[in-house]
Chain A
């Protein structure tokens, strides 16, 4: 440390006070943000808080995996799985799982206006992919349990929610 008096080193008293306030208030704001995050279990943006990922696993304990998929069918036919990488090719890969999870949550609520445009958007693309006119489009959540260290999994349960239905011609 130099030990030089700070007052001599700043251009003016205003700057010095501003800097000191900044150095005191910023840690306080970060602590507040961290408490808010831990208490409300949310991930805000923008935030100085970095991801902790503080969870632990027990060695050898099977891992539970959750996957979301899109399915579609024509009238009086079985549901077929859609290739979501092709269907959402223009959405950066890191957002796909989050988007499907979001659609699954929205589809659980009756008459959800927030889903506006989604069945039409996915329907048009699915029809092109599957080659038939769509009657129903569904988002499926499957829970798997890892059964071997090589990554083999076993399906535990699945839930399906209808994103949109239309009258087939």
Chain B
């Protein structure tokens, strides 16, 4: 047991040792990306009668007897956007990192009460897990609360900072476990050495004939008649999904799997018309944010702007502008269970949405595959503003 715990500590130390500045940059990226890509919305639910209410097993919504009052739905919608803005500027980051997932879960429990669920729990949990890291201690309102001298004095050197970097490693574990649960049942049925059956073809046929998807390469995939290609696709999907857990012990290889995952999702968008774009925010955690932090540290103007972002004034101004803007997006004629500024351009659905998601994934895969420089994060002194 002692040896296992020492091995675990060593692995945690090596996995994704991000400096406070790097974590602060990732926090800004995550909140900004979520705000831009997929803000869940439930205001539209208030129109429907109780008979439509069909929450999944173990859902908190099962404690309700129907959909809540409209004011509750409007409150949750606006609270989520405000909490995202608070996370963006790093206002009471630890508290917000818990309040945001709780609000997100409430929103999801309600919008998934129509019998269909999406698998976005990792996205929901991420801020909660990251609250144990130092992601609120740079480029944030919180960093202004502590005097500069106290900050530098109390900032831990790298060797004593695992209690700050285990959250990223834990997210990697959660992600790997999620993929195992998808890959293991597939391994039992898809890896059958039988050229007359195919699991990938089942996805293609279901998508085309039942769900009505017909964008990009999917209509061509329907006519693919090569059993060997179908079989190879089956095996590669299983190998890919199980490689997350198999390579988790090797941080460098594991990050390459994440890069391949980005290309896998881009391929899925083209071939199956499934975008799964919400994974971008999670995979981005495993990019080399220390390199970004070094790049920012060498550019005082950018650093000053990022520091200026972390102010109560920014939060107030952003709330005055963004909350009404998202209310306007929600009030569009078309019913949507998540909103994004992309809907103003019509890029939120169909082919455009698939292309946007796959572009994000391809871009991220390049970032993840880019050779990293020094593995050492910025020292605490250099990372503070």
Chain A positions within 8 Å of B, measured between CB atoms, are 1-12, 15-16, 19-20, 22-23, 26-27, 30, 33-34, 38, 40, 42-59, 63, 65-66, 89-95, 98-99, 101-103, 106, 114-118, 120-121, 146, 149, 151, 153
Contact = CB atoms under 8 A, between A and B. Distances in A.
A43 B209 contact: no
Contacts of A30: 177-178, 180-181
Among A5, A7, A55, max chain B CB count under 10 A is at A55
A7 B186 CA distance: 40
11 contacts: A9-B9, A9-B163, A11-B160, A19-B163, A43-B57, A58-B197, A59-B197, A98-B114, A98-B116, A103-B51, A151-B208
Contacts of A57: 197-198, 201-202, 205
Given A6-B5, A19-B12, A44 B58 contact: yes
Contact of A1 (B10, B59, B121, B201): B10
Interface string B186-228: 1011101000111101110110111000000000001101010
Contacts of B335: 89-93
A66 B209 CA distance: 10
B1 to A, nearest CB: 9
Interface of B: 5-14, 44, 47-54, 56-59, 105, 108-109, 112, 114-117, 119, 121-122, 124, 156, 159-163, 166, 170, 173-174, 177-186, 188-190, 192, 196-199, 201-203, 205-206, 208-210, 222-223, 225, 227, 230, 334-337
Closest 10 CB pairs of A and B: A6-B9, A117-B49, A118-B51, A98-B115, A52-B185, A95-B114, A54-B185, A50-B182, A9-B162, A44-B58
B185 A11 contact: no
Contacts of B173: 23, 26-27
B48 A91 contact: yes
A54 B52 contact: no
B181 A55 contact: no
B9 A4 contact: yes
B170 A22 contact: yes
Contacts, number: 222
B159 A4 contact: yes
A160 B186 CA distance: 35
A118 B50 CA distance: 7
A7 B9 CA distance: 8
Given A33-B181, A45-B57, 8 more contacts: A1-B10, A5-B6, A6-B5, A9-B163, A46-B105, A47-B119, A57-B202, A121-B51
Contact of A43 (B54, B56, B180, B185): B56
Contacts of B12: 6, 9, 19
A149 B223 contact: yes
Contacts of B336: 92
Contact of B14 (A1, A48, A51, A90): A1
B178 A1 contact: no
Contact of A121 (B49, B57, B166, B197): B49
A46 B121 contact: yes
A94 B183 CA distance: 25
B14 A2 contact: yes
B58 to A, nearest CB: 4
Contact of B177 (A26, A38, A91, A93): A26
Nearest to A52: B185
Contacts of A49: 119, 178, 181
A127 B170 CA distance: 55
